[in-house]
Amino acid sequence: KILSLVENASGRKARTEQFITKFARYYTPVVVFSAIAIALIPPLAFPGQSFNKWFYRALTMLVISCPCALVVSIPLGYFGGIGGASRNGILVKGANFLEALTNVDTVIFDKTGTLTKGIFKVTEIRVQNSYSKQEVLHFAACAEVHSNHPIAKSILEAFDGVVDKTLVKDYKEIAGHGIMANVDDKKVLAGNEKLLKQEGIAFSNEDSAGTVVHVAVDGIYAGYITISDEIRLDGAQAIQELKDLGISSTVMLTGDTEETASRIAKQLGLDEYHAGLLPEEKVLKLEQLQGKGNARRKVAFVGDGINDAPVISRADVGIAMGGLGSDAAIEAADVVIMEDMPSKVAEAIKIARYTKKIVIQNIAFALGVKGIFLALGAVGVASMWEAVFADVGVALLTVLNSTRTLMRKTK
């Protein structure tokens, strides 16, 4: 799949590449017919004019006006940018996405597995209604035994024993809410506040520095388990680097509680956060942040889970964590960060902007030099040697300049 992505990347042209291709399509016939006119009209219209002289000028102008420098160096610049990004652990699926990164002004992050490590540990168990901690943990472990969610795995790891799967029946996973199952003929709920409210179960809502899994047995609240996740080491650095690049807004979207989201956002220095969101609500929130019309923002979304795939697809630039990220997120993303480091988002934007700068340099240099030599060739000042420099020389210089995108070193 990686090979396929790399091969297909060459087929996704940036707008600049598309413009140059279209420009060359019209530019070439105009130049050819202009050269024919220069070779034929003066000798035929003005007596005494030498056909050889004007024919030589026409050939000189044809050589000067060859668009090789543009049609070769521009795609090469983007290929170099994609290659340079891959050397830094960033897979960009096409030149159009590399160019889109240069226009991003808002970066939205998922929390779990993106800004945090996604490695959960049970840190606290609180009980009510005469249940013991071991009983609450046992019921939670039984309810989560069939789930692959990181939170479920952390509960199973904390449970000192082996879960008897034969006791678990009528297992039902409710997306964005939690688990409902029959454990040893008891109806067990394990999930967030939304699940308990949906089932009409009264519970105590206490502030907790982590993700809370509430447990209820036969309609009676048994207690809750607090699970903490660690912030990635480069999380705060990633947000600061984005701000240094002029990104106007950094936002976090999460299905976690308000208290946990607020704590993470404060530690990382995020501009904004939205908590308690279901997957479909994340898409709606992203669309709200994008805005419409002239005030529309260019948004990049960074996520890792299967629930993030719809949001990644909806963003202007979708970025997935490739190390621990789900296949669905990686497939939907335009950019894949292979090392699961959020600071690589800023690096990707730097590479994209550097590539765009090189491309603009090549366009300005090639058109500028050709314009000067075309004017000189039209009045007969430029010889064929100058014409060769304006064609081959300029092409070589722009190609060499394009290779800087591949050789750019990062810190």
- Residues marked active site are found at 110
- Residues whose CB falls within 8 Å of the CB of residue 123, separated by 6 or more in sequence, listed in order: 210, 226, 227, 228
Q: Using CA atoms, how far apart are residues 152 and 163, in angstroms rounded to an integer?
A: 13
Contact (CB, 8 A) for 95 and 9? yes
Q: Look-up: residue for tokens 């105590």?
A: 204
Rg of the chain over all Cα atoms, to the nearest angstrom: 30
Q: Quick one: which H or E segment has residue 335? A: strand 335-337
Are the C-beta atoms of 214 and 191 separated by less than 8 Å? yes
217, β-bridge pairs? 188, 220
**347, 98 in Cβ contact below 8 A?**
no
Question: Phi first, then psi: what are they for 161, rounded to 5°?
Answer: 155, 180
- DSSP secondary structure string, 179-227? EEEEETTEEEEEE-HHHHHHTT--------SSEEEEEEETTEEEEEEEE
Segment holding 337, helix H or strand E: strand 335-337
Neighbours of 6 (CB within 10 A): 15
**How far apart are alpha carbons 270 and 262 in whole angstroms?**
10
Q: How many CA atoms lie within 13 A of 110 on its CB side?
A: 31
CA atoms within 13 A on the CB side of 5: 17
- Locate tokens 């591949």: which residue? 406
**Residue 76 and residue 405: Cα distance in Å, rounded?**
9
Is 278:308 a contact under the CB 8 Å cutoff?
A: no
For the chain, the residue count is 411
Q: Which two tokens stand for residue 315?
A: 């963003």
